[in-house]
Amino acid sequence: MNKSVRLLASASVLAASAIAAAPAFAAGTTAGTSIQNTVTLDYKVGGVDQSQLTTSDTFTVDRKVTFTVSEVGTSSTTVSPGQVTAVTTFLVSNASNASLDVALAVSQPSGGTAAHGGTDNFNVTGPKTYVDTNTNGTYDAGTDVEITYLDQLAADDSKTVFVVVSVPLGRATGDVAGVRLTGTASEAATSGTLGSTIAQSTGANTSEMDTVFADTNASGNTARDGIHFAEDDYTVLAASITATKTSRVVSDPVNGTTDPKMIPGAVVEYCITVANAAGSAIASGITISDLLPGETTYDAAFGIKLNGTVTGGTCNPDGASGGSYASGTVSGSLADLPGGATRTLVFRVSVN
């Protein structure tokens, strides 16, 4: 091997070593890396080797800023009216060749088609963002930490972010609330402090580390602005409860059970019917309290029948004994009521 080849090989090794010293990311060589290349020139004069010449070029790798905010899952989050911890999940992924701070903001569209269909017609309350501290993909109250930005999100790294909200009472089945999580690229200068918003370099390339925005316009975003968002929504599944109270005369002291009338001494059966519309959420914790009129006397022998049935609009006294009577008030609890189901509370009184 001659001298020229040996020196060129050494220079190539040095250059390769300089490049290999920088971390290898799918996003490319780390921003700010100095890449040097040295060329060696050998020549002769009159057949005599002359002094070797070398020359080098060094440039700085510029910063390519691109990250995405994406919804985790492909369907709306089903919620109940009054639910205080309703969660949607997003993934923030940094495809830049540098670490970023990512400022986070939650907003709510006003009307229009929601992310998963339907029309946005209400707002959730108290939206907060949490990072998936234990990386299990599930929101864990008391474990996952509330944040307003992702601190120093490394190149090729991703973090799961939860948007946690409350749902107002009074919402009906099919109501939809959309939410948008927006991330803004920020400098990752100091750990524990949100850096300033990154600005894209303008003009010709400089010898310093310039910045190029490379985010796209996918999913309604604006290309090359250092900002990215994704949307999700909450769809309400409520119970649709109706309660009906009816009475019928069972007997009277004159006619017995044949065409009885509501005269003093008559036995009257009260029925409270609770129905949940088909397709509704299960209603639970159903309790009934009925203060009796002073002109009636509670029939303790008949008692209270719970979770009975209805036939042809008339209550059947076929429920299980239960409930209580105290201070002139009949009380009882019904079993969980699925959509499309009906349950009853039946008791009797006599007319004073």
pLDDT along the chain (352 residues), means of 10: 36 40 68 96 96 96 97 95 97 97 95 92 97 97 98 97 97 96 96 96 94 95 97 96 95 97 97 95 97 96 96 90 97 96 96 97
Instruction: Please give the single-letter amino acid code of residue 34.
Output: S
In tens, the pLDDT along 306-325 reads 999 999 888 998 999 999 99
Contacts of 122 (CB under 8 A, 6+ apart): 168, 171, 175, 176, 177
Query: Could you say which DSSP state residue 75 is in?
Result: S
First to last CA, the chain: 124
The structure tokens 């349950």 sit at 343
The structure tokens 């007319």 sit at 351
- Radius of gyration in angstroms for the set of CA atoms belonging to the chain, rounded to a whole number: 37
In tens, the pLDDT along 103-128 reads 999 999 888 999 999 999 999 999 99
Phi-psi region of 6 (alpha: psi -120 to 50; beta: other; left: phi over 0): alpha
What is the C-alpha to C-alpha distance for residues 159 and 162, in angstroms, rounded to an integer?
10
Q: Is-above-0.75 flag for pTM?
A: yes
CA angle (336, 342, 347) in 5-degree steps: 95
What is the C-alpha to C-alpha distance for residues 114 and 121, in angstroms, rounded to an integer?
9
On the CB side of 273, CA atoms within 13 Å amount to 19
